[in-house]
Amino acid sequence: MLSVSLVCIVLVAEALGAPIVRKNAPLFSVDYSNYKEGDKPDIYKDYYAPTDGCFGVYRKGGNCASSKPNTCFIRKDPSNSDGKVMEVTVKGHTYGTSKSYSGSQFYTHHLREISVLLEATLEYEVYFPEDFEWTLGGKLPGMYGGDKECSGERPSDGTNCFSTRLMWREDGEGEAYMYIPVEEQQFDVQDKCHMGDDPTHCSLNRGVLNFQAGSWNKLKQIITLNTVGDNDGWFELYHNNKLVMKERIVYRTTEKLRLSGMFFSTFFGGDSEEYAPERDQYLSFKNIVLSPGRA
């Protein structure tokens, strides 16, 4: 729920017809301190997340998707026994999103409630154990705009949706895993996006960062929407407080396409067994913050 101060800012901005591009109070900031070790974090309580598109998580007292039970539990912070984190379990020999216990996913829609928003910031920390199996890669959370369709090889056309998840690759290499209207981009998409024959998404700047196993990886991404008809949108990515990526992005070709919220998504894959780990794997998350504007 929006804070009173943020609601006042939104109402004033809408009355003046001005876009919100400045820093504001977070829409949510989740540190799991209100849970006990072993609890199942509730995505409705913490994020007001809807049921659409969720799996492998707990919502309002039950599994969000009955065919894909909860994989998320509250554990001690691996670097600080006094802290609490959300640990996601991925069973060995699973990949993609079709099987049970393959990871977790949900959406929020906080940003959609702000009609004049042009910028937003998502921050979180992710921990990979020292013996983590990177395989060929897997997904990490990002943001999205429009509807929830821009994933799973369903492309963005500039009018329907976009998404900005991250991805780890072999040996911990990182990239921005973007569903954006590829044909609208002004950069060399074949060079920057590692697309090959698949035009549905852009693996942007693969290797621009390296995720570290055995320590926390602090991530922050900032989206600035483009003016329709112009190449003035931006995607910025910070890793451990260092700017590692800043790219001009065309997200939309219509003003009806707006920022929507966080797209929490983590699993191995890819769509082939080469992505599947041999053993059960564990990823931990903490300090998840979504803010309108720049933070």
Cα separation, 163 vs 143, whole angstroms: 6
Both tokens assigned to 105:
């996913």
Cα separation, 285 vs 122, whole angstroms: 13
Both tokens assigned to 50:
């809807």
pLDDT higher than 70, residue 69: yes
CB-based burial label for 164 (10 Å; 0-12, 13-18, 19+): buried
- Map out the domains of the chain with their CATH numbers: 4-292 (2.60.120.200)
Of the two residues 195 and 33, the one the predictor is more confident about is 33
SS3 120: strand
Q: What's the pTM value of the predicted model, to 2 decimals? A: 0.92
Strand partners, 90: 281
pLDDT higher than 60, residue 117: yes
Q: What is the mean pLDDT of residues 61-86?
A: 96
Helix (H) and strand (E) counts for the chain? 3, 17
Task: Label residue 195 by pLDDT band (50, 70, 90).
Answer: confident
pLDDT of res. 23: 53
pLDDT higher than 80, residue 295: yes
The amino acid sitting at 60 is K
